[in-house]
Amino acid sequence: MQQSFDLFFVSSNYHKYQEAKKILQSFGIVLGFFKYDLEEIQSSSLKEIALKKAVQAFQKCKKPIMIEDDGLFIDSLFGFPGPYSSYVFKTIGNEGILRLLKLNRKAKFVSIISFCDEKNHKSFEAKIDGHISKTENGKGWGYDPIFIPKNMKKTFAELNNKNELSHRYKALKKFSNWYLHKMKSDDQ
């Protein structure tokens, strides 16, 4: 039986897709996965990076798509790694980040969801404030074992409800409100 999707999530990161799929499912949106290594431009703007990726993904897929780009911005490191989070994670990982930090551990996660189809290029941004833990805690992916959301005591990796409060959740919620309204308007 062939699966029907509302749109495709384009990424090489299956973990991101799984999170997005679960979150969007709660809003009634069915998400397919199109695995593809998108070229990432060098920019200090997450929004610019995400928009370029979305256009590239649509050109490859020829179907309505969405991509997600995010960054971890650490105050004491002047926003580093920010838009370079993926590269920094691959090179120095969580241990490297922990070694860089001293007293000020304030940080934020920012997520950009970019949608693209034949007529629309649209982005949705959300963030969550928090701080970096002193050690890795929990079994999560990416920076989840070291990021503690504001007013929490556990890292994203230790939380059972991460998908209900994360930066990605907030951005996907904004996207789904727009997308569902758009679909309703298109049907009329």
pTM of the predicted structure, to 2 decimals: 0.89
**106 within 8 A of 131, measured Cβ to Cβ:** yes
In a domain? residue 32: yes
Calpha distance 124→21 (Å, rounded): 17
Query: Looking at the 3D structure of the chain, how many domains does it have?
Result: 1
**Per-residue pLDDT of the chain in tens (188 residues, 90 and over written 9):** 345 788 999 999 899 999 999 999 999 999 999 998 888 888 889 999 999 999 999 999 899 999 999 999 999 999 999 999 989 999 999 999 999 998 899 999 999 999 999 988 999 999 999 999 999 999 888 999 999 999 999 999 999 999 999 999 999 999 999 999 987 777 65
In a domain? residue 95: yes
Task: Decide if 186 is catalytic.
Answer: no
In a domain? residue 1: no
Segments forming the whole domain that contains residue 151: 7-187
The one catalytic residue among 6, 37, 69, 75: 69
In a domain? residue 148: yes
Using CB atoms within 10 A of its CB, is residue 127 exposed (0-12), middle (13-18) or buried (19+)? Answer: middle
| Alpha helix (H) residue ranges in the chain | 14-25, 46-61, 85-91, 93-100, 167-187
